[in-house]
Amino acid sequence: MVNLGFSIGDLDFKNPVLTASGTFGYGPEFDDFLDVSRLGGIFVKGTTLEPREGNLYPRMAETPSGMLNAVGLQNKGIDYFEKNIYPRISGYDTNVIVNINGSYIGDYVALAERINALDKIPAIELNISCPNVKMGGMAFGTNPGSAREVTKAVRAVYGKKLIVKLSPNVTNIVDFARIVEEEGADSISLINTLLGMSVDVRKMKPALSTITGGLSGPAIKPVALRMVWQVAKEVKIPVIGMGGIMTTSDALEFILAGATAVQVGTASFIDPQASIKILEGIEKYLIEKGFSDIKDIVGYINRNS
C-alpha cells in the first residue's frame, strides 16, 4: 500500500486529488458518476454573501484545447448554502471546502465568520482571483496591497484552514504567494483562469456577453505548471496546483514540480469521472515507480536537478 495522504497543518486529506471550485457544483451533481467521498476533498462552487445571478448568456466559448467562461459567480448566497446545501453535503466522508468571494473586504470577512461556524467545513478557499466579476474578485488578487489586506482581515476572523487562490493575471505570482503566506495563509491554490477572449466571426461579435472571460483547460497547463513550480520553491506552506489537468500524467507533472495536491477542474465537464481516474492513476504510478508515499515525489524535479 502506498500513502497518498497529505496535510495542511493539522487538517488531513486522504489523497491529493481535489476538485476545483466552479467545476464540480456542490458534489451531488456527480453522485451518479463517482463516489465523491473517495476524493481528497471537494472545493464547492464560489459562494457570496448575497445571491448572485451571474453574467448574461452567452457565458462560455470553446477555444483550442480549452474553454472560456464568464459565469460570474452565480450562486444562491450563504443563507441558502447554510440552509439547503450544507445539510446535503456534510455527509460526504471527505473535506468539503467552500470557495468564498466578495466585492469588499467586509464581504469576505462576514462570509468567513459564517463558514467558521459550520462544523463540517474544515477550510475555506479565499478566491481573490475570479476574473468575471466587476467588483472585487481578481481586483484583490492582482494588487499586492489588496491581496495582503484581504488575507489579513480574513485570517483575523477565521480559525480553520485558510487556502488562498491566486490569479495568474499578474507579472510576478511569487510576490503574491509570499504576501499571503506572510499574512497567515495555510495553503495556496493556483492558478485561477487566465483572462482571455474570443470573437464569433460569423456573428461578428464577441463570443461572451462580457467580452472577456476566464480561460481554462489544457491550453493553460504549461503556464499553470510554470507558476506552480515558481511558487512551490518559494513558500513553505503546501501548494495546490491546478490548470488544465486532464490526465494522471498532467497531475503528476504538477506534483513533481512541487504541488502537494492538485485540483481537477474543466476535465470534470468532459469526463465526470476524471478525478477518480487520476486518483487511481497516481496510486498506480507510485507503485510502479517503487515509492511508498506521495510525499516522496512532491517537488521531485527540484531536488534532483
Residues that bind another protein (CB under 8 A): 22-25, 29-30, 32-33, 45, 53-54, 57-67, 69, 71, 74, 217-218, 266, 268-273
Nearest to 122 by CA among 98, 86, 151, 101: 98
Nearer to another protein, 211 or 270 (CB): 270
Residues 49, 80: contact at Cβ < 8 Å? no
Q: 202 vs 236, which CB is nearer to another protein?
A: 202
Q: What would the grid cell of residue 146 be?
A: 489588496
State the nearest-atom distance from the C-beta of 160 to another protein, in Å.
Answer: 25
**Hey, what's the cell of 209?**
456577453
Q: How far is the CB of 121 from another protein (least distance, A)?
A: 19
Instruction: State which residue, 80 or 104, has the beta carbon closest to another protein.
Output: 80
Q: How far apart are CA 187 and CA 181, in angstroms?
A: 8
Q: Is 6 a catalytic residue?
A: no
Q: State the catalytic residue, choosing from 128, 130, 180, 294.
A: 130
| CA 234 to mean position of chain CA atoms | 19
Instruction: For 52-68, give one letter per residue: b (16+ CB within 10 A) or e.
Output: beebeeebbbebeebbb
Question: Cβ of residue 171: shortest distance to another protein, in angstroms?
Answer: 29
Nearer to another protein, 10 or 32 (CB): 32
Shortest separation between residue 203's beta carbon and another protein, angstroms:
13
User: Between vectors from CA 126 to CA 121 and to CA 131, what angle results, nearest 5°?
Assistant: 135
Active site residues: 130
